[in-house]
Amino acid sequence: MHGLIFFYIQKFAEALALGTSGQARLRTTVTTAGKTYLPSRAYPDAEAVSLLTNVAEAADRPLGDMLREFGIFLAPHLVKVAGRHIDRAWRTLDLVEHTESVIHAMIRSTTPGATPPVIQTVRLAPDELQLVYTSERQLCRLAVGIVTGLGRHFAEFVEVHEDTCMLRGDPFCSFVLRTRAADTHDSGGVHAETVVLPAGSRASPAGDVAITGRAVDGVDEDLPATIGSHRILRLLGRGGMGRVYLAYDERLQREVAIKTMHRAKADDPAARQRFLRESRATAAVEHEHVVTIHQVGEEPLPGRPHGVPFLVMQRLAGRPLHTVRDEAGPLPLREVLRIGREIATGLHAAHAAGLIHRDMKPENVFLEGPSRRVKIIDFGLVSDASDDANRLTTDGTIIGTPAYMAPERIGSDATVDSRADLFSLGVMLYELLARKLPFEGTSLVSMLAAISRGRPRPLGEAAPDVPPDVAALVMRLIAHDPGDRPADAATVATEIEVIEQRLADRDP
């Protein structure tokens, strides 16, 4: 375990109000123990557990309760220590989502002997996140305490649904985290707390969380004046990888969108490589249904060995598919088919260039203009088809969006090719036609398990009005075995075109 944790264990012990006898015991068992722990080194896990056990015994408290209290104590200190790796716009779930990369930048890359826990996350909504935690130390109570402490630090209420737990014999812990603004009392104080709910339980109405998007008002304390000689106009949005700005290209006198990488992410070499790969891969594909990349660069940062990577892309006027899906209600069959055909032709162009997107989902399909022409965006997980599809993943993390992830992507030793993108396309088409996903689950784990089992309800049953040939094509796209799916994206586009022509002939 990293020496920084030992340093704060001792500070925590010193801060406890245990009375004279308790303080004396702590001085002999923790704070003045014969060994000095340096924050820059790593030490055996057993020593940390021993110190925390001593603290719990001296305080006459159960170890689990003491771990949670230590986590609450630790959280704001970690935020402060990790300052340069943390985006100032982040809140509780943002920081939890990026914990793996912050740990990598601060600990794994500088202290090879340290073995921090593996933290896997999937962001379901601005106020909801799924998390899987694994560690030989089984200090999940400490993890919950840290989440609680982060909530207090950011003045947010945190609700934790716990699906599985190592302390109950499960191989890992899995949580669903939801946040809302903390209660502000008349005295002006802020109350932020964490409620931990076991599997299957629900919060009381007062604790329920409304999942709503967080508006971006264009005001940003870190808004740069220029990026890559482009004048920045305002912030368009934030995502897991970085920020997107509206900018003006003075040379060509046009508005563009600039995506920059989070500074914290930029400190992680693997993450930097993924971002640059997205930029180069997308720029290499010239197709009407793939977003156009104008420039790839790196904005220098004073006093740092590397800058912040960015890409300049065309500004798109329209809305992403998931927004249209949620707001417009069921889309007409012919429009769903057109969207599917245009996605397939865009994917074919990428695949022909040897590229696999690996994160096809409604959020990455932009519908441009009144005609809602498809533009595939955000090739953030793109890989060269000749490479190992998992080479660029950070150790222990799940990369991609589970609901649309092909089953062969779930196994780390599985071969992934372009047919994984076709599976994702099939899931999107199923969802548009049936108004529900073919593989469902209440958590990351249950969702992955449903995909791994590969037994979706036939589309013809879920949406009886869908023509049989359409249902058959969609079910082939989401076949569990890649060999049972269509051969390539061009084949899919052709099959959809034949169906469209049949419908046009029947109902001109």
Which sequence positions are flagged as catalytic? 359
Q: Are 361 and 428 in contact (CB under 8 A)?
A: yes
Dihedral of the CA atoms 347, 348, 350, 356 (nearest 10)? 70
Q: Are 418 and 360 in contact (CB under 8 A)?
A: no
Interacting residues of 245 by C-beta distance below 8 A, sequence separation 6+: 223, 224, 227, 232, 233, 234, 235, 236, 257, 258, 260
Nearest to 237 by CA among 246, 228, 248: 246
Residue 240's alpha-carbon distances to 94, 274, 398, 430, 490, in angstroms, are 8, 13, 14, 26, 31
335 vs 150: CA distance, rounded Å: 45
Distance of CA 258 to the CA centre of its chain: 20
243 vs 235: CA distance, rounded Å: 8
